[in-house]
Structure 1
C-alpha cells in the first residue's frame, strides 16, 4: 500500500461533487496520481485549460491516420510500428492474403484488434473465426497464422516481456463489462485437422525485435488435443456491456478491458450519456501526469473529439492538460445527444512512448491547433 499524503481541503469556489454542478462559468480540471486511481484534486478555471495560444516542442498532442498507410505485409513482423516503449509496442497491420508462414512472438503476449475484415485464425489451440471488432489475445509463444476472407486491418498491441490479464472489477463483480464465459476459444474441428499436412512450413519467430526462421518438414500446428487454462481467446466489442451512471461521468478506468504490467487497454463502446442536468456528459479536462494516452478510433463519432475519423490514432504524452475539443464540449452543453456513437480502443501507458519513423509520414500536424486557440499555420 502506498501511504499517500492525503488531506482533502477546499479553497475558493469549488463543486461539492467532482464532475457535477460546476460553479457558474468555470471549467473543471482534474489533477491526479496513478491515472485515475490515486489522490486527486479538482481545479476550477475561468478558461478552458486547453485554450493554448502556442505549443512548441515534442510534448504536443499528436494524431496519426492509418488510412494513409500503404504497407500490406504478409507477416505481422512487417506491420508498421506507430508507438513503443520497453513495455508496449503498438503496430498497425494490413493483410489481404493468407499468411504463407506461421508467426510466433517470443517477446510478449500479443493483442490483435480487428479494425476491418474477417477470416480465420489457425494456431496451436485450433481454429478460430474472426470479424471486425474482435479482440484476439495470443499468449506469448503461440504459433499462429491468419487466412482472411476479406481484407483485414488490425491494431496490434504487444505486452513486451509481459502478459495480458483481466482487470480487477472490484465492487462491480467479476461478470461486469463482460462475463469471462463470453471469451471464445479456438476449436480443434475438421478444418483444423484438415490443415495438418506433411507439406513443409516455416515459423517466423520474433525475439528482441529480431526475426528468426524455423523450418519444419510438416505443419507444426499438428496438435491432437489440449487441456489447461491457458489459451488464445477472443471477444468482440459488441459483447462488452459498459458500466455507466446517469448522474456522474465515470473515468476511462471504468471501461478497462485488459491490463498488463505497465499499461492498460480500455474499450469505449456506445452507451447512454449522463442525463442528470448537473452532471458533465463529456470527458472532464485532466492532466496527463503519470500515464501516456493513446486512442485508436474504430467506428462512429467520438464524442469528445472534433475532426477525428475511424482509423485515426491520437497520442497525448504526459505533461500537459487535455480534454474535449471545443465543438464536442459545446455539443455536450446543449445535451443534444442521448447516447454515444463510438467504438475506440485506448492504451494508457505508464512509461513514455516513442513515435516510430513509420508514423511520422501519416501524422496530422495540425492536431495541436485543433483546440481552437492556435493558428494552424504555425504547425
Structure 2
C-alpha cells in the first residue's frame, strides 16, 4: 500500500489552525496534494502570493466572457466548446425557440446547467420542466430535446467516457447539502403524451466527437412507461443547503455536487460569512498543484473576484497560486456584509484543459494583470 511522505512540523511564525489567526502582517498560502484531500502545508508570507508585476509565457490565469458568444444553435453539438480534455468537455449554448431535432450523447453523461430561461425537456423517460438555476443530469445515450418558454442559455458539461455520481459526504451524511429525495425525475404525463405521434424526426448522435443522424417516421420519444433506478435527474441551486462553519473557511471540496471520471462539479451558494474574528472570510491563497480550476459565475455578487459578472468564466490552470482578488483582500477578516449572495459552478479537472476556438473578444486578455496586488493591502494591517 502506498503511503504519503508526511513530515508534520512548524517552522518560524505560523498559525496553528489553518485559515485562522494568521501571524500579524502575513498572507497564508496552502500547498496541497489531490486538491483539498491530500497532505498539505501552509506558508505565511510577508506579501500577497499574487503580487506579481509582470507575467510571461503560456501558463496564466484566464477569463472568458461567454455573454459575448452570440447566436442560438438548434443542436447542443453545434454550441462552441470553450474548455476540454479527454475527460470533460464544456460548451456554452444559446437555445433556439424549439429544438427541431433530438440530441443523443454516446460519448458520456451530459450535465446541463440552466443559466437563463425556462421551458420543457422531453426525453426517453418523459417530460421535465426546467427553470433558471436547474442542474439536469442526462445519462449517456438518452435522447432528449428542449422547448424553451423563455430564452434559454445553458452550460453543458460532458463527462466524457464516464458517469455522474453523487459525492461521498462523509461525516455529515448523505442528506447534507441536498437530500437525494430532492432529485426530480421525468414523468410520462399529458404533456409528454401530447408530443408523441407521426411525423419525421431526426436524432443527432455524438460519438467520438462525430455526428451521425438517425431519421424516424415517428417521434421516438414514444415510451408508455419505464421502471428502474437509472433516469435523468433535476435539482435547482435554490434548493441547496451549503455546508458552513462560523469559525473556519471551508475549502471548495465541501461544496462538491457531482463527481465524474477525472473531475468534480461544485456549487457555491449564498451562505453567512464566518463569524469568528480570526477566521478568514474569503478564499485562502492556494496552489493549483493537481487540478485545473474553472469557475462559471451564474448570479449574485462574486465577493472574491473583481470585474467579474454573471455569464463569465475564470480558468486557473495547474501551476500557480491564486486566491482572492486584491479588492477582496480588504474584506479578508472584516466582511462588508453578513452573507454572500453568489451562485457559481466550479469544475476541478485532474488533467490539463485546452481552450476551444472562441470568437474574438470572448477572452478578457487583461485578466492576469487584474491580480496585481499592492505591496501592503488592507488585509495585512
**Aligned mates of 2:322, 2:99 — CA distance in 1:** 41
Q: In the TM superposition, what whole-angstrom CA distance separates every residue of 1:166-208 from its partner, at most 9, and x where no partner exists? A: 0000001000000000001001001101111111111000001
Match of 1:115 in 2: 115
Say yes or no: does 1:97 pair with 2:85: no
Distance 1:18 1:332 in 2: 14
Q: Partner of 2:199 in structure 1? A: 199
1:333 positional shift = 3.5
1:7 deviation in Å? Answer: 1.6
Determine if the alignment matches structure 1 residue 138 to structure 2 residue 156: no
Listed one character per residue, the Cα deviations across residues 100-128 of structure 1 (whole Å, up to 9, x for unaligned) are 00000000000000000000000000000
How far apart are the structure 1 equivalents of 2:289 and 2:187? Answer: 44
Match of 1:339 in 2: 339
Deviation at 1:81, TM superposition (A): 0.5
1:335, 1:113 → 2: CA distance? 30
In the alignment, the residues of structure 1 paired with residue 250 and residue 332 of structure 2 have an alpha-carbon distance, to the nearest angstrom, of: 15
Q: Could you tell me how far apart the structure 2 residues matched to 1:351 and 1:360 are?
A: 26
Distance 1:244 1:373 in 2: 28
CA distance in 1, matches of 2:246, 2:373: 32
3-state SS in 1 of match to 2:30? strand
- Taking structure 2 as the reference length, what is the TM-score of the superposition? 0.97
Shift of 1:302: 1.1
Matched-pair contact (CA < 8 Å) for 2:326–2:373: no
1:254 aligned partner: 254
Shift of 1:360: 5.8
- Matched residue of 1:327: which SS? helix
2:369 is aligned to 369
CA contact (8 A) 1:82 1:359 kept: no
Report the equivalent of 1:14: 14
| Counterpart position of 1:305 | 305
Post-superposition offset of 1:359: 5.9
Structure 1 residues 266-285: Cα deviation after superposition (integer angstroms, max 9, x where no partner): 00000000010010010000
Match of 1:58 in 2: 58
Give 1:181's aligned residue: 181
Alignment of 1:155-170 (within 5 A): 155-170=155-170
- The aligned residue for residue 5 of structure 2 is 5
User: What is the distance in 2 between the residues matched to 1:113 and 1:9?
Assistant: 43
- 1:295 is aligned to 2:301: no
Q: Summarize deviations over 1:276-320 as a string: whole Å, max 9, x none.
A: 001001000000110000000000111110110000000000000
Q: Which position in structure 2 is the counterpart of 1:49?
A: 49
Write the distance in 2 (CA, Å) between the matches of 1:254 and 1:334: 23
Distance 2:359 2:124 in 1: 32
TM-aligned CA deviation for residue 335 of structure 1: 2.5
Runs of 4+ aligned structure 1 residues displaced above 4 Å come to none
Task: Give the whole-Å Cα distance in 1 for the aligned partners of 2:52 and 2:66.
Answer: 27
- Whether the 8 Å contact between 2:278 and 2:333 is mirrored in structure 1 is no
Residue 377 of structure 1 is matched in structure 2 by none
Residues 104-161 of structure 1 show CA distances to partners (whole Å, capped at 9, x for unaligned) of 0000000000000000000000000000000000000000000000110000000001
In structure 1, C-alpha distance between the alignment counterparts of 2:138 and 2:281, rounded to whole Å: 36
Distance in 2 of aligned mates of 1:355 and 1:204: 25
Give the CA deviation at 1:2.
4.1
Matched with 2:378 is none
User: Helix, strand or coil: the match of 1:200?
Assistant: strand
Question: What displacement does 1:358 show?
Answer: 1.6
Maintained 8 Å contact 2:108/2:139 = yes
Task: Please name the residue that 1:31 is paired with.
Answer: 31
Asked whether the 8 Å contact 1:306–1:325 carries over to 2, the reply is yes
Q: Is the 8 A contact 2:109 2:162 kept in 1?
A: yes
Post-superposition shift, 1:356? 0.6
What CA distance in whole angstroms lies between the structure 2 residues aligned with 1:359 and 1:255? 32
Where does the alignment leave 5 or more consecutive residues of structure 2 unmatched? 375-381
Gaps of 5+ in 1: 375-379
